[in-house]
């Protein structure tokens, strides 16, 4: 786990005064990492319980290494519920509040708008307002007008989209592929030098290319990145579905196309598609943004459709097998939307379990970290939350692998076969080797793999 990385060097004059509004996955990681780079950080959150925990040194989310990094830099970071008083002249105020989807796919800016109004009311002198939340194109422009209603002095707006992934957030923040800085321009077309210099100084210890661009482009870069990655995932899932019909192994296809530098090997794992708090909402968000400007984003509509279909197909495959063997108990391994996180937002497991519950099956579930969050979300119908992977497999007619936690690949499957009722694996992430599983005695079904 990365500890105290890139602390050497750092900003030339003892660090900046940084305020972070919102201490979720992005805000807390940003705060702790910026403190590790030598800045003086105040993290603000509305959530009383979160702030109380953080003040005791407890990290309210599961993010590997974050607790240790906080402990190492505790002297440079504080936590409060009260935004007023934190914003001083010269502060750099990062906004990292949630921007969830509305039912129609549009982006809910309620939290962001409140945060902007609160910052504006607390302003007393020049500050830089840096937006890290993922927001529709034009939000920076809107924020300038909104703040000017309350504060008559000078200030700067910056868009600094965040690309970190839950589970590897610290490394992604401190060693990113690039830092994108959307800056306001002066009348002559050059970037406003004051926020430019301060932002470059804030990130001076981060050894990554800095892309300086205009605010609207920065806002769109974030959506375009996630949309492109989601497209790769749906594309390889389409190839897997072809393999299922024609023969061929999607892992070989991924190797074959991923070896082409123009394509690259990442995000080509066929399976149950993308989930989490970002990809689904950002794909929907970009479709809505485009629509609001009179443009239909046909590619992304298809990406979305393919992603949703993967989950439905998986639940249907389980039902089909159970019907054939007249079984009724399904073991689900993995609940979080991906390994190394407790986040179950838009996790395929939630939708698959609900579909199986609706069909009347008994479900036994296990996840190394996400059990508590899943308990809050899942209906309490015919569901058993188990203490171990083995307990969840006990008496199961189908073992469905939904999240590829390393723990599952390390399990001795020759022990698991002794406790299941029917030795059938439906592997939603192609985690297991089909030949190995068949040798042990399992009937094995992967995604796009024979
Ligand atoms: P989150 O829901 O985990 O955290 C948001 C926090 O903001 C919450 O703790 C909430 O209490 C707090 N908050 C809301 N309004 C507030 C206010 N007015 N004052 C103070 N605190 C307030 O969200 P997140 O996952 O960290 O995402 C934040 C933003 O970053 C979103 O726009 C998201 O799309 C984007 N993003 C997320 C990720 C990710 O992996 N989670 C990665 C990149 C970008």
Per-residue pLDDT tens digits for 96-128: 999 999 988 899 999 999 999 999 999 999 999
Evaluate: CB of 162 within 6 angstroms of ligand 1: yes
Domains 5-208 and 251-445 share a fold: yes
Ligand 1 atom index nearest CA of 281: 34
Centre of ligand 1 from the C-alpha of residue 134, in Å: 9
Average pLDDT over residues 354-373: 97
Q: Whose CA is nearest to atom 41 of ligand 1?
A: 25
CA 311 to chain centre: 19
Evaluate: CB of 133 within 6 angstroms of ligand 1: yes
316, 322, 328, 331: CA torsion to nearest 10: -70
Q: Which pLDDT band holds residue 352 (cuts at 50, 70, 90)? A: very high
pLDDT at 12: 47
Residues 6+ apart with CB under 8 A from 301: 287
List the alpha helices (DSSP H) in 209-297. 215-246, 250-258, 279-292
Evaluate: CB of 30 within 6 angstroms of ligand 1: no
pTM: 0.92
pLDDT at 7: 32
Average pLDDT over residues 216-234: 98
Evaluate: CB of 158 within 6 angstroms of ligand 1: no
pLDDT > 80? residue 450: no
Give the closest residue to 271 by CA, choosing from 216, 347, 329: 347
Q: Whose CA is nearest to atom 17 of ligand 1?
A: 115
Give the mean pLDDT of the chain. 95
Give, for ligand 1, the residue of 137, 277, 336 to mutate: max count of ligand atoms closer than 8 Å to Cβ. 277
Using one digit for the tens of pLDDT, what is the confidence trace for 244-301?
Answer: 999 999 999 999 999 999 999 999 999 999 999 899 999 999 999 999 999 999 999 9
Centre of ligand 1 from the C-alpha of residue 412, in Å: 39
Give, for ligand 1, the residue of 22, 59, 62, 165 to mutate: max count of ligand atoms closer than 8 Å to Cβ. 22
Evaluate: CB of 93 within 6 angstroms of ligand 1: no
Evaluate: CB of 46 within 6 angstroms of ligand 1: yes
Q: Whose CA is nearest to atom 30 of ligand 1?
A: 133
pLDDT > 90? residue 197: yes
Evaluate: CB of 277 within 6 angstroms of ligand 1: yes
Evaluate: CB of 26 within 6 angstroms of ligand 1: yes
Q: Whose CA is nearest to atom 15 of ligand 1?
A: 111
Centre of ligand 1 from the C-alpha of residue 383, in Å: 31
Q: Whose CA is nearest to atom 9 of ligand 1?
A: 24
Respond yes or no: is residue 278 known to be catalytic. Answer: yes
pLDDT > 90? residue 4: no
Ligand 1 atom index nearest CA of 47: 11
Ligand 1 atom index nearest CA of 25: 26
Give, for ligand 1, the residue of 64, 97, 143 to mutate: max count of ligand atoms closer than 8 Å to Cβ. 97
Q: Which residue has the tokens 């991924």?
A: 254
Cβ pair 357, 381 in contact under 8 A = yes
Give the closest residue to 390 by CA, choosing from 366, 424, 363: 366
Evaluate: CB of 131 within 6 angstroms of ligand 1: no
Cβ pair 336, 343 in contact under 8 A = yes
Q: Which pLDDT band holds residue 9 (cuts at 50, 70, 90)? A: very low
Using one digit for the tens of pLDDT, what is the confidence trace for 117-170?
Answer: 999 999 999 999 999 999 999 999 999 999 999 999 999 999 999 999 999 999
Evaluate: CB of 84 within 6 angstroms of ligand 1: no
Report the CATH number of the 251-445 domain: 3.40.50.720
Cβ pair 394, 363 in contact under 8 A = no
pLDDT at 105: 86
CATH H superfamily, domain 5-208: NAD(P)-binding Rossmann-like Domain (3.40.50.720)
Between 10 and 73, residue with greater pLDDT = 73
Q: Whose CA is nearest to atom 2 of ligand 1?
A: 98
Give the active site residue among 33, 43, 243, 278. 278
Q: Which residue has the tokens 């690949």?
A: 409
Helices (H) and strands (E) in the chain, counts: 17, 14
pLDDT at 14: 65
CA–CA distances in Å: residue 247 to residues 241, 427, 437: 10, 17, 19
Average pLDDT over residues 27-50: 97
Q: Spell out the domain ranges in the chain.
A: 5-208, 251-445
Residues 6+ apart with CB under 8 A from 115: 21, 22, 95, 97
pLDDT at 11: 44
Using one digit for the tens of pLDDT, what is the confidence trace for 405-434?
Answer: 999 999 999 999 999 999 999 999 999 999
Evaluate: CB of 50 within 6 angstroms of ligand 1: yes
């Amino acid at each position: 786990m990365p500890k105290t990385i890139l602390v050497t060097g750092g900003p030339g004059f003892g660090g900046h005064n940084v305020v972070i509004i919102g201490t979720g996955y992005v805000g807390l990681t940003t705060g702790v990492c910026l403190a590790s780079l030598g800045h003086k950080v105040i993290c603000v959150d509305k959530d009383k319980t979160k702030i109380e925990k953080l003040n005791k040194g407890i990290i309210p989310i599961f993010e590997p290494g974050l607790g240790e990094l906080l402990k190492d830099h505790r002297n440079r970071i504080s936590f409060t519920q009260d935004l007023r008083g934190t914003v001083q002249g010269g502060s750099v105020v990062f906004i990292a509040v949630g921007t969830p989807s509305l039912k129609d796919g549009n982006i809910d800016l309620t939290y962001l708008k409140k945060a902007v109004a609160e910052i504006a009311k607390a302003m007393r002198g020049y500050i830089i307002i840096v937006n890290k939340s993922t927001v529709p194109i034009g939000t920076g422009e809107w924020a300038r007008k909104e703040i000017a209603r309350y504060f008559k002095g000078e200030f700067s707006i910056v868009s600094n989209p965040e690309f970190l992934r839950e589970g590897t957030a610290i490394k992604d923040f401190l060693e990113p592929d690039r830092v994108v800085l959307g800056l306001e321009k002066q009348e002559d077309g050059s970037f406003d030098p004051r926020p430019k210099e301060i932002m470059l100084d804030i990130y001076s210890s981060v050894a990554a290319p800095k892309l300086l661009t205009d605010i609207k482009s920065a806002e769109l870069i974030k959506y375009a990145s996630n949309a492109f990655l989601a497209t790769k995932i749906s594309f390889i899932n389409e190839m897997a579905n072809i393999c299922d019909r024609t023969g061929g192994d999607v892992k070989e296809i991924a190797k074959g196309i991923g070896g082409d530098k123009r394509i690259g090997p990442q995000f080509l794992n066929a399976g149950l598609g993308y989930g989490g708090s970002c990809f689904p909402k950002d794909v929907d968000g970009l479709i809505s943004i485009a629509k609001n400007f009179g443009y239909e984003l046909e590619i992304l509509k298809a990406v979305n459709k393919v992603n949703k279909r993967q989950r439905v197909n998986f639940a249907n495959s389980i039902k089909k097998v159970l019907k054939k063997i007249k079984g009724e108990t399904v073991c689900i391994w993995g609940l979080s939307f991906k390994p190394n996180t407790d986040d179950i937002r838009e996790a395929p497991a939630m939708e698959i379990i609900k579909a199986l519950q609706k069909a009347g099956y008994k479900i036994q579930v296990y996840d190394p970290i996400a059990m508590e969050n899943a308990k809050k979300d899942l209906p309490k119908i015919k569901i058993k939350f188990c203490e171990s992977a083995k307990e969840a497999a006990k008496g199961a007619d189908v073992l469905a692998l939904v999240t590829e936690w390393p723990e599952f690949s390390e399990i001795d499957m020759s022990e698991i076969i002794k406790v299941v009722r029917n030795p059938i694996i439906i592997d939603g992430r192609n985690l297991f080797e089909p030949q190995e599983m068949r040798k042990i005695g399992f009937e094995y079904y992967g995604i796009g793999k024979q």
